[in-house]
Amino acid sequence: MTKDKDSITGSFHFVYIVTLIVGTIIQFSDESEFAVDMSNMKLIHVPKDLPPKTKILDLSQNNISELHISDMSYLSGLKVLKLSHNRIWCLDFSIFKFNQDLEYLDLSHNQLQNISCHLITSLKHLDLSFNDFDVLPICKEFGNLTQLHFLGLSATKLRQLDLLPIAHLHLSYILLDLEGYSAEETESLQILNTKTLHLVFHPNQLFSVQVNISVNSLECLQLTNIKLNNNNCGVLIKFLSGLTRGPTLLNFTLKHVRTTWKCLVRIFQFLWPKPVEYLNIYNLTVVERIDKEDFHYSKTALKALKIEHVKNEVFIFSQTAVYTIFSEMNIMMLTISDTPFIHMLCPPPSNTFKFLNFTQNVFTDSVFQNCSQLVRLETLILRKNKLKDLYKVGLMTKHMTSLEILDVSGNSLEYDRHDRDCTWVGSIVVLNLSSNILADSVFRCLPPKVKVLDLHDNRIRSIPKPIMKLEALQELNVASNSLAHLPDCDTFSSLSVLIIDSNSISNPSADFFQSCQKIRSIRAGNNPFQCTCELREFVQSLGQVSSEVVEGWPDSYKCGYPENYKGTPLKDFHMSQLSCNTTLLLVTIGITVLVLTLTVTALCVYFDLPWYLRMVCQWTQTRRRARNIPLEELQRTLQFHAFISYSEHDSAWVKNELVPCLEKEDIRICLHERNFVPGKSIVENIINCIERSYKSIFVLSPNFVQSEWCHYELYFAHHNLFHEGSNNLILILLEPIPQNCIPSKYHKLKALMTQRTYLEWPKEKSKHGLFWANIRAAFNMKLELIAENNDAET
């Protein structure tokens, strides 16, 4: 959210150089099939089975000691070769004569002592640093490397004209390894043209290099491994005198510095009048003692001082002596990060600070309290300190009338002073309060004109309704909290960017995009969305918004509940309109029930269901009385051989033909007109007669199917068949019955005529005998049984 201005400016040249160095690698990064990485594989020679089309080859961190022409000759397209951290002791550049496209060659950290000069003119990056050369390995052929941007060298001795062969080249970066440098007399080295010079010294020896190095158009100077005390501090200053003489040196960097406080102040004093604009010190260790030192803050070109990663080995010293040196510096940008500083003094009124960065110190709430001199300060970074009270942070800014960017993230800030209003300078537009322990109350203690607010990784559960109007707020980051709902844009009328991912939002409102018309970017993924009907409209609204507005869609938007939907992307979550609309569901159910009722009613009418229900009721009542009577006992109650069911229209044939013929054979017949018991219902008489008869004879004719009572008798006789498990039906077809004449409700009759054998009354008299024989054969019960039952009944 905040930008380290001096870091950006101070690193400009470094970024430019790195771009030149790795440019060749980047342009092939998308061609992974042409890149071979065999680093750190304990190889002792270059493999022979490399793909011929290899363009990038990494053989670093192995045990290779020699290179041969056959190792590289078939790799004609090779452009990048990394051989650093091996054991190569001798190199003939002619082995690369078949690699005319080679641009990047890294041979650093080997054991090279000499090389032959048959260089490839296509080289842009050549690193020979950290080897065992006595003198700089430069020969006249180096002058042909017109495309060279980076050159890394090492030597134990320096001669003034060593670099003469490349004097006409315009290099971007020269790395000179002087770890083994041991000359006792002052030497000279003329480096004619380079923008950046990086010198590396021995890490465990006091700085003692006495070389006069002159560079034309030097812009960036970096020294690594500087070990100083009060006695040899002058040696370094003398060494820097020649390098800092030119007007073009703007950026000076010291890395891995071990020095006394007095020497460090002397270095500052030496550089103060120089043209250096950006001074960077990384990994600084202060030793011996810290006393108050005089410092003359003359007019300086220095704009920014950055000190990172400070280790103090002096445990008892005057804090004021240190803080005064820095607080009174007349520069615009000061960065002191990752140090044991517990405080910083309020600078004098004449200070010119516009940018202060005190990241990862141990500052407390007392820092800059009642300090009214930082009126020019525009950016203040107090990230990762020991701040605890947000109210005091607001008071700290009271007099910083130019402050626009404030970063107090990574502290332990909280706000619990509900009885007092917060005081903030009105100029703050960017505020970073992330990674603290702030709760919902923080929204009552914010700068009124803030435009960019970062509150991610706190303890916010909700955004209270009665809060101050943040009408200028454009960007809000509340990720990694415990929010359950999306914020209301009535409070944030200008909100255009919202980051609210990794919260506890389960049912976001579908009206969010309607209330927040100015939203141009929202990131709300990684929330436990509850995939129910309530979420359906929100998902639809997300689908209608451009993918450029909804960041992370659809990958980071997944269902958290219920369990059967867990992990399902919201874009694949669908619920029907019917299951989510109660009114529509009730209407649908009502219509379905109505249609079903009408259908059942129509079927009942068509199949005469009421009639069957009545029959079942009568049958059930009658059968209930005999449900516990065994089959043998039921057979002992038989009184008739047959019960005859017929239509009155067929009574003449029954009485004149059928009954006389059967009774002549001593077959007892049950007829309704002589055997129905007066006083009982017709249905009960029918059932009783059927149950007391061995067989039931049905005389079928067109007249029969038109008689409802005949159908009753057939219905009950058919059910009696299943109850007793016997074959008690005899069907006599007196006259043919067309199928279309049988009413649809008499489907049992249709089924019986289809499934069972019936006797058809023949029209020819000659066949009557066979008909009667078949009738008699159907009665196989002994007549004595029925006779005995009749005698017992009498």
**pLDDT tens-digit readout, 692-709:** 888 888 888 888 777 766
The domain that holds 148 is classified in CATH as: 3.80.10.10
575-587 burial by CB neighbour count: b if 16+ within 10 A, else e?
eeeeeeeeeeeee
Residue 22 has pLDDT above 60, yes or no: no
Q: Do residue 660 and residue 559 come from a single domain?
A: no
| pLDDT number for residue 243 | 87
The residue among 579, 598, 615 that closes a domain is: 579
Confidence of residue 8 (pLDDT cuts 50, 70, 90): very low
For the chain, the domain total comes to 3
Q: What pLDDT is attached to residue 725? A: 43
Residue 86 lies in a domain: yes
Q: Are residues 548 and 688 in the same domain?
A: no
Question: Which is nearest to 443 in space by CA: 435, 459, 427?
Answer: 459
Q: Please indicate, yes or no, if residue 593 is contained in any of the structural domains.
A: no
pLDDT, one tens digit per residue, over 140-195 is 888 899 999 999 999 998 888 888 899 889 899 999 999 988 766 777 888 878 99
Percent of the chain topping pLDDT 90 = 46
Residues 653, 727: one domain? yes
pLDDT surpasses 50 at 674? yes
Sign of CA pseudo-dihedral 620, 626, 629, 635: negative
Query: Which H or E run contains 27?
Result: helix 12-27
* 549 & 672 share domain: no
Band (16; pLDDT cuts 50, 70, 90) = very low
Q: 603 burial class (0-12, 13-18, 19+ CB within 10 angstroms)?
A: exposed
H-helix or E-strand containing 672?
helix 672-675
- Among 334-348, 488-502, 752-766, which is the least confidently predicted range? 752-766
541, 642: one domain? no
Residues 44 and 158 in one domain: yes
509 three-state secondary structure: coil
Q: What is the pLDDT of residues 218-266, one digit of tens each?
A: 999 999 999 999 999 999 999 998 888 888 899 999 999 999 999 999 9
Pairing mode of beta strands 56-58, 220-227:
unpaired
Which of the 8 DSSP states describes residue 389? B
Q: What is the pLDDT of residue 752?
A: 67
43 has pLDDT over 80: yes
141 and 40 in a common domain:
yes
Q: What are the angstrom distances between the C-alpha of 256 and each of 17, 176, 181, 202, 482? A: 21, 16, 18, 11, 43
Domain that holds residue 62: 30-179
pLDDT band at 644 (very low <50, low <70, confident <90, very high): confident
pLDDT of residue 597: 86
Q: Is the pLDDT of residue 364 over 90?
A: yes
Averaged pLDDT, 439-446: 92
pLDDT confidence band for 196 (50 / 70 / 90) = very high
- Residue that terminates a domain, selected from 137, 163, 179: 179
C-beta contacts of 490-499 below 8 A and 24+ residues apart: 490/515, 491/463, 491/465, 491/467, 492/516, 493/469, 493/518, 494/518, 495/519, 496/520, 496/521, 497/521, 497/522, 498/522, 498/523, 498/524, 499/456, 499/475, 499/523
Domain boundary pick from 579, 613, 644? 579
Structure-token match 């141009």, residue found? 520
In a domain, 628, yes or no: no
- Average pLDDT of the chain to the nearest whole number: 84
Is the pLDDT at 330 greater than 90, yes or no? yes
List the single range of 430-434, 497-501, 533-537 with lowest mean pLDDT.
533-537
Give residue 186's pLDDT: 76
Task: Please answer whether residues 261 and 290 qualify as being in contact, where contact means their C-beta atoms are separated by less than 8 angstroms.
Answer: yes
Yes or no: say if 313 and 285 are a contact pair by the CB < 8 Å rule.
yes
> Which one of 120-124, 161-165, 363-367, 656-660 scores highest in mean pLDDT?
363-367
Q: What is the pLDDT of residues 467-506, one digit of tens each?
A: 767 889 999 999 999 999 888 777 788 899 999 999 999 8
How many helices (H) does the chain have, and how many strands (E)? 22, 31
Q: Are residues 45 and 174 in the same domain?
A: yes
Contact 634, 626 (CB under 8 A): yes
pLDDT at 633: 55
pLDDT at 4: 45
CA atoms within 13 A on the CB side of 379: 17
Does the pTM exceed 0.75? Answer: no
CA atoms within 13 A on the CB side of 573: 28
Q: Do 572 and 646 fall into the same domain?
A: no
Q: Residue 697: give its domain's CATH number.
A: 3.40.50.10140
Give residue 628's pLDDT: 52
Domain-embedded: residue 343: no
In a domain, 134, yes or no: yes
Identify the pLDDT of residue 755: 65
Give CA–CA dist 408/446, Å, rounded. Answer: 13
CB 24 within 8 A of CB 80: yes
Asked whether residue 669 falls in the same domain as residue 779, the answer is yes
Distance CA 301, CA 307 (A): 18
**Structural domain contains residue 711:** yes
Regarding whether 156 and 85 lie in a shared domain, the answer is yes
Indicate whether 2 belongs to any domain. no
Same domain (yes/no): 569, 698: no
| 400 is a domain residue | no
